Chains A and B, each alone.
Chain A
Amino acid sequence: MIDAVITLALLALAASFGLAIAARIFSVSVDPRVEVIEDALPGANCGACGLPGCSELARRIADGKADIDACPVGGEEVARRIAEIMGQDFEGGGVRTVAMVMCAGNDEVALKRFHYNGIYDCTSAALLFGGNKACIYGCLGLGTCAGVCPFGAIDMVQGGLAVVNPDKCTGCAKCLSACPKGIIKMVPVNRKVHILCSSHDKGGKVRKYCKVGCIGCQKCVKAAPEGAIEMDENLAVVNYDVEIPESVAETCPMNTIVVGGGVERKAAAAGGEG
């Protein structure tokens, strides 16, 4: 028993000794900044920067192959910290963008065509006649986007509608590709006026299935500054480059235009009896 323990211990010792020597011979000098930068990064390994993970981005930044603000998730704060590590100056970047689901049609206001009993996933549901909402552009509300969000920023509000919490959203844009309807858009966080509809159907058709859908009446286009809201096949679309006065929202007969994002618009959608 004792000799077994001693033999194994000696063998292990010999092996570790050999490895210690090998580690000396084959030592690779690693940029010490890589580790510090990696610590500064969010560490979610979300892939929003286009690289496999945070450690890869840290390596690129240390090598000077990537910009110090290459992490879209970390935003300004992380970029500033990395700039400090790299000894560079960082003059504040643009405005943070957050994801927004361009649909307000919850179960109270939007009709359904049939009862969906399949796999609880938007992608699966969309494969079946484009989903069970009467509006083929609408949010299916089964939470596929909430599932892929690495930051838990998407809530499924009551009545089957995804809502992004702009405070938690880091702008990684993962949900954009997860949504089978493609109705999630990136919007600047400082813009307050949004048109929460993605339907390109004609007004009459929209009225039949959704109480808060855009009917393409163009009232908002006329009320808003030149080029601030544009028409795209029966759908008014906000041009986020131009500031829009909040009063424009009142011109909408369908209450499709809301002021503010996130949870506030739930109330707007529910109140839209138009």
Chain B
Amino acid sequence: MSRLLLIIISAVLVNNFVLLKFLGICPFLGVSRKVKTAVGMSGAVVFVMTMASVVTWLIYNYVLVRLDLVYLQTVTFILVIASLVQLVELALQKISPPLYKALGIYLPLITTNCAVLGVSVLNIQKKFTLVETTIFGIGAALGFGVAMLLFAGLRERIDLCDTPISFRGTAIGLITAGILSLAFMGFTGMVKL
């Protein structure tokens, strides 16, 4: 039980995917202008990451390993992730058209989001069990969500500030992301998995 808790804490804070592993930077900068879209994106990522972790783990251990086709890992994982993203896209278009519009291009871009593939690959590398995989998937997605939320909140405030013209927009965003990342460096080494 304590190991599962550690996995969550590790994924959310200590080894935050965005701020410490630098995975999934594209949506991190792209959809973090407003808290609302950031929350929506995080929701989509939570779903995709968790599902992808579980499905890829199952496929890896029960199909690829048994058939001795481990070298197909990357291709199959991408296939799974792409289909899952498509599923989320279909569902979102039906359930919440405004969110679907707000996320725009970044939704299909989860397909090529290295964070999702990263989680799936890490699950295998760290030899997690199915339960641990699920928890790690959720944790990693939550970590992504935390980073997105923090950053979106900061950017909303920065938009109101009198920033020098040359720093406005993405420039100050990148600097803020760097400082945020530095802050998260403080957690380094607190949890060893």
Contacts and interface: CB of A to CB of B under 8 A. Distances in A.
| Chains A and B are bound partners | yes
Contact of A11 (B71, B79, B97): B79
Nearest to B59: A11
Nearest to A14: B83
Nearest to A30: B93
A4 B69 contact: yes
Interface residues of B, number: 21
B186 to A, nearest CB: 41
Given A8-B75, A28-B94, A18 B87 contact: yes
Given A7-B67, A18-B83, A26 B94 contact: yes
Interface in A1-25: 3-4, 7-8, 11-12, 15-16, 18-19, 22-23
Interface residues of A, number: 15
A27 B94 contact: yes
A4 B69 CA distance: 7
A3 B91 contact: no
B76 A22 contact: no
B72 interface: yes
Given A3-B69, A8-B76, A19 B87 contact: yes
Given A11-B59, A15-B80, A4 B90 contact: no
Main secondary structure of the interface of A (DSSP, over half): helix
A11 B76 contact: yes
B90 A26 contact: yes
Contacts of B72: 4, 7-8
B94 A15 contact: no
Contacts of A4: 69, 71-72
B63 interface: yes
A23 B87 CA distance: 8
Contacts of B76: 7-8, 11
Interface in B51-86: 59, 63-64, 67, 69, 71-72, 75-76, 79-80, 82-83, 86
A63 to B, nearest CB: 13
19 contacts: A3-B67, A4-B69, A4-B72, A7-B63, A7-B69, A8-B75, A8-B76, A11-B59, A11-B80, A15-B79, A15-B80, A15-B82, A18-B83, A18-B87, A19-B86, A23-B90, A26-B94, A26-B95, A27-B94
Given A16-B83, A26-B94, A28-B94, 19 more contacts: A4-B69, A7-B67, A7-B69, A8-B76, A11-B63, A11-B76, A12-B79, A15-B83, A18-B83, A18-B87, A19-B83, A22-B90, A22-B91, A23-B90, A26-B91, A26-B93, A26-B95, A28-B93, A28-B97
